[in-house]
Structure 1
Amino acid sequence: MSEKSIARTTATSTAGGELESTQGRTTIADTVVSKIAGLATKEVSGVYALGGGTARAVGAIRERIPGSSTNHSQGISVEVGEKEAAIDIQLVAEYGVAIADLAAGIRSNVIAAVERMVGLRVVEVNIEVQDVHIDSDDDHAEANGTGTGSGTGSGAGSEPRVQ
């Protein structure tokens, strides 16, 4: 873990007390912000999983190890400054959910949770929907022994239809 990944913040919370006072300073690591953002994201209906395919595969293996814990910050990356935070989220959405509404709900929930619990102003929440979960994908994956995936391609050498 690099020294930059541990953020030291001295922001004043808008929802309550101060992180720096005459009695001392509170230091908050990036992992704290990423866990809060991950948990706030999972609370939103329509989120199937966090992270891309590789992160989810590693997470599934990790959860099978006895004594291990769930990685609540999987698929979440954050940049934390002295007073502000920027958050990037990768996720898989449930099929049938309006993705624009899902993104708006996630942004609202993540911003509220981070600002309330940590006292940092969230300047942006970028959301990358990497896949859509379909219940039949689970049946197909179990039958073939593979994970879910979305192979999209239009053939070798063909030009893209949209820009």
Structure 2
Amino acid sequence: MPGAGDTERAQLVTEHGRTRISAGVVSKIAGFAAREIPGVYAMGGGLSRRVGQLKGMVGASQDSRQGVSVEVGERQTAVDLDIVTWYGQSIMDISNAVRSNVMDRVHAMTGLDVTEVNVNVDDVFVEGEDDDRGSGSR
């Protein structure tokens, strides 16, 4: 990714000073933006979802960055998402909506140009399966 020398923080410089945006902030925004889309059942691959379930069982809150990884440069960022969708809904429509919403939210909140949002669909949730990992909308 051009300009991605620093994957930990973005730095926006103006004549009045600089603003640094950490990769964790971009991850959190992207995670919330993805969960806003109807059809996203959960975030994260199999192992990270299980870890999230265990955290929930012991009373810890679920990490909004679960299933999200980012690279952050000085002016640009790239996002990778792992999601689970609901059975019976168009994976392509959900993926496109997630991609668009993440790009819009991250850019609007940080000023960073989002060069790409890669969506990996790791599973399809079927209602009635024994699974309490869901956190998204239907």
For normalisation by structure 2, the TM-score amounts to 0.86
**Sequence identity of aligned pairs in percent?**
43
How far residue 136 of structure 1 moved from its aligned partner, in angstroms, is 2.5
Which has the greater radius of gyration?
Answer: 1
2: CA distance, partners of 1:58 / 1:131: 16
Per-residue CA deviation, residues 42-83 of structure 1 (Å, 9 max, x unaligned), is 0000000000111011011112334x3320010000011111
Please report the RMSD computed on the Cα atoms of aligned residues, expressed in angstroms. 1.7
2: CA distance, partners of 1:82 / 1:113: 18
How far residue 5 of structure 1 moved from its aligned partner, in angstroms, is 4.7
For normalisation by structure 1, the TM-score amounts to 0.73
Q: Aligned residue pairs: how many?
A: 128
Runs of 4+ in 1 over 6 A off after TM superposition: none
Aligned twin of 1:21: 14
Aligned twin of 2:9: 7
Report which structure shows greater RCO (CA 8 Å, sep ≥6): 2
2: CA distance, partners of 1:137 / 1:6: 38
In the alignment, structure 1 residue 115 sits paired with structure 2 residue 107:
yes
| SS state at 1:27 partner | strand
Could you list the runs of 5+ residues in structure 1 that have no partner in the other structure?
Answer: 11-19, 148-163
In the alignment, structure 1 residue 91 sits paired with structure 2 residue 83:
yes
Could you list the runs of 5+ residues in structure 2 that have no partner in the other structure?
Answer: 1-5, 134-138
2: CA distance, partners of 1:112 / 1:29: 18
How far residue 9 of structure 1 moved from its aligned partner, in angstroms, is 1.8
Aligned twin of 2:3: none
2: CA distance, partners of 1:125 / 1:83: 16
